[in-house]
A = this chain, B = another copy of it.
Amino acid sequence: MSYKAVKGTRDFYPEQMEARRKVFDLLRENAIKYGFKEVESPAFESIKLLTAKSGDEIKSQIFVMEKRSNEEIGLRFDITVPLTRMFIEKQKEIPKPVKWFYISRMWRYEAPQKGRLREFYQFGVELFGSNKVQADAEVIALAIDNLVSLGLTEKDFTMMISNRDLIQGFLENIGVKKVGETLRVLDKRGKITEEEFEKELDFLPKDKIKKINKFLKCESVAEAAKQANDKGKEGAKELKQMLSILKSMGKEKYIKFSPEIARGLAYYTGTVFECFDKKGKFRAILGGGRYDKMVEQFGGQPCPATGFAMGDVVLELFLRDKKLWKDSSEGVDYYVAPVNADYIEKAIEIAQLLREKNSVDIDLMERKLGKQFSYADSIKAKKVVIIGDETKKGNVKIKDMASGKEEEVKISKLK
């Protein structure tokens, strides 16, 4: 009888866990530098909350619990909605802006594929209460700093930035009626060929598709703004201000105006962005934007918001590709080896002494010294403390595993 993990999930052994923890610690440190505070929400929420604003496509992606006593519950597939719920519960009392970050697990019911698993971690931030472009710039700068702190450079990734109002203002200007549907197709642009793209837009007349293709080729905000109505021009103005702030933050080299970034989800307003590897080998590394209507839609007082999220699956693939992610496990500082069973209790005492300041392993198998050394080696112990006759003089022998050197040390001097 053999049992397997559920497909699309991962087991984290120490090597994988430590590598991931190093990355998460760095992301946490960066978020704290930007004045964000860590939060966490429950793994599951009511189906009512989870599906309120995302439509049917999302529902099929939720791990739904068997219904018991009228409770309809599902695992969160995203944390923006749960955190919006949490924000609304304290909206009156909490000073604005509210800057939250999280490193949390999410679950999506889908067929596992490259860069997509059914269980994954997400790092992200939500910033509630500011409608200023400074707030958008703040979250984009943090997103960039995260990637740079992991060893990536402007040669590796591009932060592609656009503005929903600009895009919608353009679509309205050329008379597109099905704006939502068109945005969803626009969002796929990077993943499909021009032919497929035009086919997916077949609900539009040819001339409009032509105009869309022209718009998507705009290299400057000014050029794009010319093709939009007043709402779009307003979006363009905001975008320019934000790009200017990002420049004063020293982030210009990482960013690019990219009119094709529309973001599929219905809830985005204003600034939208996605980050891709320059070689185009992977899915988006992170994505985010402004969602000024969501708080209100979920029953709160009207309140602007912006944020981003970065999953660990694509991030790990990308960092591994760049040799910036390596499974590894730190060795213990000391392994304490009694020479025989007579010295077990003495060895335990010394291990406890050393544990005040060090990571210490000890023989738990009553093995011979040779086998103990093999084990110490396998767990990458830095030093082995040998507990034998020397203890009668108040001493132990310590072997440095890297140099192979051995010295006799007073027990009273150990720390």
Interface residues, chain A, with chain B CB atoms under 8 Å away: 1-6, 9-14, 17-18, 21, 32-35, 37-46, 48-49, 52, 63-66, 68, 71, 73, 75, 85-86, 88-90, 95-97, 99-100, 105, 107, 109, 119, 127, 129-130, 132, 134-135, 137-138, 141, 244-245, 248-250, 298-299, 329, 332, 335, 344-345, 348-349, 352, 355, 358-366, 374-375, 378-379
Contact = CB atoms under 8 A, between A and B. Distances in A.
B359 A35 contact: yes
Given A40-B17, A66-B64, A95-B379, A132 B35 contact: no
Q: Taking chain A's interface residues, is the majority helix, strand, or loop, or is none over half, making it mixed?
A: mixed
Nearest to A89: B11
A17 B42 contact: no
Contacts of A17: 37-40
B344 A299 contact: no
A14 B36 CA distance: 9
B360 A3 contact: no
B132 A365 contact: yes
Contacts of A375: 95
B361 A11 contact: no
A71 B6 contact: yes
Contacts of A379: 35, 95
Given A3-B298, A13-B86, A39-B13, A365 B96 contact: yes
A127 to B, nearest CB: 7
A134 B364 contact: yes
Nearest to A13: B39
A26 to B, nearest CB: 14
A352 B96 contact: no
B100 A14 contact: yes
The interface centre, meaning the residue of A32, A40, A332, A363 with most chain B CB atoms within 10 A of its CB, is A40
A97 B364 contact: yes
Contacts of A96: 365
Contact of A365 (B45, B66, B90, B130): B130
8 contacts: A11-B42, A12-B40, A17-B37, A35-B332, A43-B43, A95-B379, A99-B361, A244-B345
A33 B122 CA distance: 29
Given A33-B358, A41-B11, A65 B64 contact: yes
Q: Chain B CB within 10 Å — which of A6, A132, A364 has the most?
A: A364
A133 to B, nearest CB: 9
A105 B43 contact: yes
Contact of A43 (B107, B127, B132): B107
A250 B349 CA distance: 8
